[in-house]
A = this chain, B = another copy of it.
Amino acid sequence: MTQPAPGLISAGQTAMQRMADRDTPFITACWYVAALSGEIGHALVRKTILGKHVVIYRTSTGEVSALDDRCAHRSFPLSAGKLDGDTIVCGYHGFRYNASGDVIEVPSQGGAKCPKGIGVRRYAILERGPLLWIWMGDGEADERKLPAQGWMESHKWQYSVGYMLLHGNYVSLHENLLDLTHLSYLHAGTFGTPDYARAPFDSEVGEDQIAVVRRAVPTQLPVLWAQATNLVDTKTAARIARSAFLTPALHLTSVDFYESTLPSDTRPEYHINVAHLLTPETQGSTHYFFVIGRDFGLGDNTLQGFIHNNLIEAFKEDKAALEMLEGVLESRGRDFFEISVASDAASVAMRRYLKGKSDTEARA
């Protein structure tokens, strides 16, 4: 075509106005993963989360403190200061902070008392299993909004954790996770198979979650899943994936594998859960944590390593693709438009949900 029809372009652009994109302000009233639990010990760690600098450390009682990472006095990063017991001493003029973020000593005051009420914000933190969740919102941290992650703490599941910094916006990563069509193309060399893109799927767009269930039955599994489940020499395996957007910070992929020719009441079934934990760092970068779990072969650490390492190879393909995409999105001009097709129903719903939440916060 010389040019897509003007009607198509304007329809695409109108639709985009209701959808979150890389420039949409972050949603703060939400729990995000600040760090893996094991990352934080008795040392100052600097993180940028939703564009804000935060210093995080664990006190001698094991509690985790997360403070604004700049001295209230002249803005020197607290993370560049020193931990003295459970207090932080600013590396510039020596202002001392307790774990609550209150200034408790100002050396230059000499004998005079420390001024009261000076300090920096402390962010609410919840530690759950391998994850440290943080609340960056203005309002009260609402523990009831923390998503369930019971399987991670169940003895029926074994998991491993990982992290990568992705130089792309978190909305694009959510969209990637909701449309597994891309396995046949982007992941053709890792865990995609040619038939996967054409497998039937159902979109579930509800108030509590937005999900897509994709059923590749019968199929031949890729090497990763075939070896992991021992469904090696069959072309009649089942691979049923549920991709669920749960919160702006969490996408859960749950996959069932089994031999489809065996009776459903006796066949062995294999389940994989991957929690994708998306924490925006800046508009153009995302902390991408993940928890990879399985409910079979428990105790077999070699198996867990095999799955983990293979998935990471695939995640690197996502990272590379989304970083390339970010380059396009950063430099998009006025004539930019996107066209959605039927299989984008869940993506579009998710992006509208994010846009609505962001707009609501902006109005507040």
Residues of A within 8 A of B (CB): 1-5, 8, 51, 53, 70, 72-77, 80-81, 89-94, 100-102, 106-110, 112, 115, 117-122, 175, 179, 181-182, 184-186, 197-198, 200-201, 321, 324-325, 328-329, 332-333, 336-344
Count the copies.
Answer: 3
Q: A8-B117, A110-B200 are in contact. List 7 more A-B contacts (CB 8 A).
A: A1-B117, A4-B72, A4-B119, A92-B186, A106-B343, A107-B198, A110-B198
Q: Which of B93, B102, B329, B342 contacts A185 (CB 8 A)?
A: B93
Q: Considering only CB atoms, which chain B residue lies closest to A53 in the complex?
A: B328
Q: Which of B93, B102, B118, B324 contacts A197 (CB 8 A)?
A: B93
User: How long is the Cα–Cα vector from A77 to B330 in the complex, in angstroms?
Assistant: 13
Q: B200–A108 contact, CB under 8 A?
A: no
User: How long is the Cα–Cα vector from A329 to B77 in the complex, in angstroms?
Assistant: 11
- For the complex of A and B, 9 pairs with smallest distance between CB atoms: A108-B343, A107-B197, A108-B181, A94-B185, A93-B181, A1-B119, A72-B339, A75-B328, A3-B121
Q: Which of B1, B75, B110, B201 contacts A122 (CB 8 A)?
A: B1
- The DSSP consensus for interface residues of chain A is loop
Q: Considering only CB atoms, which chain B residue lies closest to A93 in the complex?
A: B181
With a cutoff of 8 Å between Cβ atoms, the chain B residues found around residue A93 in the complex are 179, 181-182, 185, 197
Known: A91-B186, A92-B182, A110-B200. A77 touches B4 (CB 8 A): no
Q: B74–A175 contact, CB under 8 A?
A: yes
Q: B200–A328 contact, CB under 8 A?
A: no
User: How long is the Cα–Cα vector from A117 to B53 in the complex, in angstroms?
Assistant: 47
Q: A101–B1 contact, CB under 8 A?
A: yes
Q: Pull 14 A–B residue pairs with CB atoms less than 8 Å apart, ordered by A.
A: A4-B72, A4-B119, A4-B120, A8-B117, A53-B328, A73-B340, A73-B344, A81-B185, A92-B185, A92-B321, A93-B181, A94-B184, A107-B181, A115-B341
User: How long is the Cα–Cα vector from A355 to B206 in the complex, in angstroms?
Assistant: 55
With a cutoff of 8 Å between Cβ atoms, the chain B residues found around residue A184 in the complex are 94, 107
Q: B75–A329 contact, CB under 8 A?
A: yes
Q: A108–B328 contact, CB under 8 A?
A: no
Q: Considering only CB atoms, which chain B residue lies closest to A89 in the complex?
A: B185
User: How long is the Cα–Cα vector from A100 to B3 in the complex, in angstroms?
Assistant: 10
Known: A185-B94, A186-B91, A198-B110. A74 touches B120 (CB 8 A): no
User: How long is the Cα–Cα vector from A185 to B185 in the complex, in angstroms?
Assistant: 56
Known: A76-B321, A108-B342. A1 touches B92 (CB 8 A): no
